Structure formats: C-alpha cells, structure tokens
Amino acid sequence: MITITHTIKSYAKINLNLNIVSKRKINNLHQIESLVALIDLADEIKISEIRSKKHKVIFRGKYSKGIPKFNTITHLLALLEKEKIIKKKYRILVKKNIPQKSGMGGGSMNAASILSFFLKKKILTKKLSEKFAKKIGSDVILGLNKFPKVYLPSGKIRVLKTRIKYYLLLVKPNFGCSTRKVFSANKVFSKSKLGKLKNVSKTMIINSENDLENSAFRLYPNLFKLKNKLLSWKKAEFVRMTGSGSTLVMYFTKEVSAKNALKMSKRKLNNCWCILSKVI
C-alpha cells in the first residue's frame, strides 16, 4: 500500500486593527472587532493516512517546544471522530515556523488549515467546517480561506473580496505575551467602527488602533520601549501590535523600504526575532 502525503501551508494571521467593544457580564468574555489578514509566514503541515489505533500528531521546528499534547489539532481530530466525520487515522507532522505567544494565531491557523484540507477532500462541508472551527476557538474561522475578514463583536465574520497590500517587518522580542493576562488587564473600550465596512482604505487602517496595546504595554514595559524604538526609525507607514502580542508589525507600501528596515533591525535589535513578510 502506497501512503500519500499531502503538504499544506498554515498561514499566520495579523490583526491590522483590534477594537474591544464591550465585555459580557454573563461570561466575562470580551467582544472584539478586528480587521484580519493572512500573511505569507506559514507553518508547514504534512498529512497522511496511517494504519494505527491512534492519530499521530508531531511538532517539529524551532518553535515546537512546549506545545501540549492536547492542542488545537488533537482537539479537532477528537471532535471529528466523536461525531463520526472521520473514521481513518492520520499522521500529522507540523513544522512550526510561527512563534508561540506571538499574537499571530499559529495554533488556531493549524486547525483551520486542516479543516480546509478536509473540506477540499470533501470529508467536510463548508457548513461543517465552520461549525467545527467555532468549537475549537473563536479565531479559527479566520483561517478557512485566504481573504481578509472583519471579525464582528457578534462572533460573525464578513469576508472582504478586496486584497490588502502591505509589505511587513515582523518584530518579536525574546518573550511572549499571555493572552489571558492581556485581556484581563484591559481597560480600553471602543465603539464599533467596522460594522458596515465594505471596502478597506489605507487611511482607515492607518488611523485605527489595537486597544490591547494599552494593557500589553503595562504588563510588558519592554514591549512599549520596543514600539517606541521602531517608531523612532520613521521608516514605516505605521507600527502596530498584532493580537495580544508580543509581535509588533511594521507596515510598508514598498518592499525596498521593508528590506531596509530589516537591515536596520539586524544592527539594532539583537534580542528580537525579525523577519520580512507580506499580506497575501
């Protein structure tokens, strides 16, 4: 029997803006609104069917250390088996190129990519893929296709057919941010600004913010210092934290400007992970 191995990419996501609209009194969860896009930084996933009593999920690569045995992929496989969606066993090997606790949704996007794979193989329908995405995590649905999306406070998403073109320099310090702590410490709330958005303009994006920067910078003062240093270079259109951190994103309209900023970062930011990317 010849085993076929399928290779897929699991792209990182960035929040071009993030508004905390409210906090539910019932479950204490925040309602957020965000413009989200995928970028060309990606984990590599290899999927193959195996003859075994159990699935095999393996993480390798520089950023694989510390991933728990119960993760977004094992959770997804368990749910699909429980509802008898899949009957075969799979070996899933993930090469982690996306740092953990970076605000780029590496684990969530891994689950989203596997859902998209099962959808392509007609093991799942579009409706079922969205159903299971929501069961794994609120942001998993953002990775089911490559289009930019508006995540609404209701939990619904609006897919934008227009592309967003930016070259990026991703800068992550040598520490991560705790999503739970950053959200718990948040004291900034904004009005809904994207509810009726149909087209994305760069002016709108530049004038937006990430409300979680306030709490992240209070919890991690060195992150605040790092952003100010990036701003002082005056090379980017704007600089903004993605998600709950700790990655700061420098946005450029020209690739050459991003490359020049990378050269400077290599000279001045010895303790940071810096890499070029772009919105896809």
Q: Looking at the predicted structure, is the pLDDT value of residue 194 above 90?
A: no
Query: Model pTM greater than 0.85?
Result: yes
Same domain, residue pair 152 and 180: no
CATH number of the domain where residue 268 is located:
3.30.70.890
Could you give the residue numbers annotated as active site?
13, 139
Final residue in a domain of this structure, among 134, 159, 184: 159
Looking at per-residue confidence, does 11 or 25 come out higher? Answer: 11
Same domain, residue pair 128 and 211: no
Final residue in a domain of this structure, among 133, 159, 185: 159
pLDDT digits (tens, 9 = 90+) for 116-143: 999 999 999 999 999 999 999 999 999 9
Distance CA 207, CA 58 (A): 42
CA angle 110, 39, 179 (to 5 degrees): 60
Instruction: Provide the number of structural domains found in the chain.
Output: 2
Same domain, residue pair 35 and 135: yes
Same domain, residue pair 210 and 71: no
Q: Which domain holds residue 12?
A: 5-159
Instruction: With beta carbons less than 8 A apart as the criterion, state whether 104 and 69 touch.
Output: no
Same domain, residue pair 90 and 30: yes
Name the one residue in this structure whose structure tokens are 């089911």.
Answer: 144
Cis amide prior to 246 (ω within 30 degrees): yes
Final residue in a domain of this structure, among 143, 159, 175: 159
pLDDT digits (tens, 9 = 90+) for 160-178: 988 899 999 999 999 999 9
Same domain, residue pair 61 and 144: yes
Same domain, residue pair 146 and 94: yes
Same domain, residue pair 126 and 178: no
Same domain, residue pair 103 and 242: no
Same domain, residue pair 185 and 141: no
CATH number of the domain where residue 58 is located:
3.30.230.10
Instruction: With beta carbons less than 8 A apart as the criterion, state whether 42 and 11 touch.
Output: yes
Residue 198's pLDDT band (cuts 50, 70, 90): confident
Same domain, residue pair 46 and 95: yes
pLDDT digits (tens, 9 = 90+) for 59-84: 999 999 999 999 999 999 999 999 99
Distance CA 245, CA 104 (A): 8
Same domain, residue pair 99 and 17: yes
Q: Looking at the predicted structure, is the pLDDT value of residue 28 above 70?
A: no
